[in-house]
Amino acid sequence: MTIAALLSLAPWALFAGVSGALAGFNPLHHSGPASPYFDAPAQFGILSTTPVQCSVDQAAYLVRHGSRFPEPGSFAGWQSLFAKLQNATYNAKGPLSFLPSWTPPIDDIPHDPLFLSSTGSREAFDLGVELRKRYRLTRGGDNFTVWSAGQQRVVDTATYFTLGYLSQGNYISAPGENRGHVITMPDSVNYTFADSLTPSAGCPAYSSGDTSFKATTFRGTYQSTIANRLNKYLDGLTLNATDIGVMQDLCGFQAEVNGDTRFCDIFTESEWLDYEYAHDLNYYYGSGPGNPFSATTGYPWVKAITELFVTGPNDATESSGSNFVPPPLIMSFTHDNNLPPAVSALGLWNTSELSGVYPLSAKSPNRRRTFRSSYLVSFRGYVALERLSCDEHDPPTSVKHIANQPILGPGASVNAQKYVRIRINNAVVPVPGCASGPGSSCPLASFAAYIKKRAAVAGDFVKTCGLQDVKNATNTLDIFTTFPSDAAQTSMLLVPLPYASAP
């Protein structure tokens, strides 16, 4: 079934959570990369539950780190706003009456910026618990391996995820069991090329395709108008467009840092939708389908996962030099700008079947778009691929059990067929032109053929990025099957460390 056909079946399902007509409008679901994690609404009317005749026997996730404190540049904006509010004599009323007493939610200025917040720690831990319950792909007590880019907030997210996923507390009596291994690699460097969870930094051509300035242009169409509206609540102080940008950012950040949502409450629904669309433009044209090198940098991860799905869980791969069999749940942790390239490589949210929607307009939002930053790069946002094992028919409604003869569960029969589904922040997103399987999934063989064709769109990493004359440049991501990986410069952390005996 085509995306156009799916759209015709459930045209309003795309916009659940946008119009707010049914559930109420929540600014935190429209704050782009500042949104604390939330499940994206269903798209195309596809349920997120696993089809009843299927089970998931293998899954792979590419995850942004959890909620964090601001980066130094953003924090400088917070400090400038605070100084402006404190250095003026003014009256504030109505929705802005809290401004004179507001302080930036940072209590450890030398250390907080950049790092994971307590909310981010919980988001990562909760994902571990959720996927343990959803899949049960590894036995409780087994050691478990995940992969992470090297910045502290990413490694911490991988660590808290692992602690949530591990299910038995043999930390003292059996220090060699129930341990997580976090394989880390250099973060945002230009010398590991495609063998990285931050590959755009290793593609010299990537920045030339970045036209995210369109987001700045679009912000210029609404921020001053918002400032004029809010200035009616101030006497002796004048807000400007820059202040509006900072204040809207603070909605999501303060909500996740200390639970303060007062900045969320002072903007209208339409102002939040403009704010979200500016982020959509930033990611679409910066690291997503609007950047011609986006698919190039996202393809190595997609190709590596597809090859593992074709091989199947718990089997050695055929690639040369492989010495490690990844677990059936393959978890990769990275940054926000490394998720849109995976979407580009998969050919999602950019279809020509939606006439007039893509490429995104730099002037006004089209509400039929499916590319929404809040549904992808929220804190702890993810792109996930699931390999489904499915029976031909639904389970029977009446089952006779014979003593000592276990009944096979869904998808466990020898005749079960294999399919692939994609989830983005839990919402199922169909593969373009391939949604004939259960739950709008794509037959595995068809998916592998589709990904092979996508190679022509993505281009060879080394050639497309202009690295032909660079020594050791590679277009292959081998971290899931090779440890240590010389090209990716991987190392390993143990989680949790064995307890030390008290002196």
pLDDT tier for residue 456 given thresholds of 50, 70 and 90: very high
At residue 21, the pLDDT reads 33
- Which of 470, 485, 482 has the alpha carbon at shortest distance from 461? 470
Decide: 428 and 439 in contact? Cβ < 8 Å.
yes
At residue 112, the pLDDT reads 77
Q: What is the sign, positive or negative, of the torsion defined by CA atoms of 359, 364, 365, 367?
A: negative
User: Residue 339 has which token pair?
Assistant: 């998720």
User: Residue 161 has which token pair?
Assistant: 């995820």
At residue 107, the pLDDT reads 80
Of the chain, the end-to-end C-alpha distance in Å amounts to 66
CATH classification (class only), 3-68+116-205+292-394+410-495: alpha beta
Does residue 395 or residue 59 have the better pLDDT? 59
Residues 255-293 have pLDDT tens digits of: 999 999 999 999 999 999 999 999 999 999 999 999 999
pTM above 0.85, yes or no: yes
For residue 213, pLDDT beyond 60: yes
Segment 125-142 shows an average pLDDT of 94
Is 29 a residue of the active site?
Answer: no
Decide: 162 and 180 in contact? Cβ < 8 Å.
yes
- Catalytic-role residue among 156, 336, 391, 478: 336
Cα 393 to its chain centre, rounded Å, is 33
Q: What is the sign, positive or negative, of the torsion defined by CA atoms of 352, 294, 329, 156?
A: negative
* Bridge partners of residue 331, in order along the sequence: 61
Q: To the nearest whole percent, how much of the chain has pLDDT over 70?
A: 92
For residue 5, pLDDT beyond 50: no
* Bridge partners of residue 385, in order along the sequence: 60, 422
Place of tokens 């996930």: 384
pLDDT tier for residue 390 given thresholds of 50, 70 and 90: very high
At residue 354, the pLDDT reads 80
In this structure, the number of other CB atoms found within 10 A of the CB of residue 245 comes to: 19
- Secondary structure string (H, E, C) spanning 247-307: HHHHHHHHHHHCCCCCCHHHCCHHHHHHHHHHHHHHHHHHCCCCCCCHHHHHHHHHHHHHH
At residue 3, the pLDDT reads 42
For residue 358, pLDDT beyond 50: yes
For residue 1, pLDDT beyond 80: no
For residue 501, pLDDT beyond 80: no
CA distance 263 to 249: 9
Give φ, ψ of 33 to 5 degrees.
-70, -10
Amino acid (1-letter code) at residue 328: P
Cα 34 to its chain centre, rounded Å, is 13
For residue 318, pLDDT beyond 80: no
Segment 161-188 shows an average pLDDT of 87
Evaluate the omega torsion of the peptide bond into residue 484 and state whether it is cis, within 30 degrees of 0. yes
Residues 66-105 have pLDDT tens digits of: 999 999 999 999 999 999 999 999 999 999 999 999 999 9
Residue 17 CB-density burial (10 A; 0-12 exposed, 13-18 middle, 19+ buried): buried
At residue 167, the pLDDT reads 77
DSSP string, 348-402: -S--TTSTTTSSPPSSS--TT----GGGTSSTT-EEEEEEEEE-SSPPPSS----
Q: How do strand 382-390 and strand 234-235 relate by DSSP bridges?
A: unpaired
Decide: 461 and 472 in contact? Cβ < 8 Å.
no
Decide: 381 and 425 in contact? Cβ < 8 Å.
yes
Question: Where in the chain do CATH 3.40.50.1240 domains reside?
Answer: 3-68+116-205+292-394+410-495
Is 336 a residue of the active site?
Answer: yes
pLDDT tier for residue 314 given thresholds of 50, 70 and 90: confident
* Bridge partners of residue 184, in order along the sequence: 148, 491
Which of these ranges, 3-7, 27-31, 75-79, has the smallest mean pLDDT?
Answer: 3-7
For residue 338, pLDDT beyond 50: yes
At residue 52, the pLDDT reads 96
Place of tokens 């030398």: 110
At residue 170, the pLDDT reads 66
At residue 317, the pLDDT reads 56
At residue 258, the pLDDT reads 94
- Catalytic-role residue among 65, 156, 187, 478: 65
For residue 328, pLDDT beyond 80: yes
CA distance 77 to 83: 10
At residue 321, the pLDDT reads 62
For residue 502, pLDDT beyond 60: no
- The mean predicted confidence, pLDDT, of the chain is 92
For residue 228, pLDDT beyond 50: yes
Determine the 3-state secondary structure of 26 from DSSP: coil
Decide: 63 and 157 in contact? Cβ < 8 Å.
yes
Torsion on CA atoms 256, 258, 259, 262, rounded to nearest 10: -110
CA distance 286 to 289: 8
Place of tokens 């707010």: 20
The kind and range of the H/E element at 310 are helix 294-311
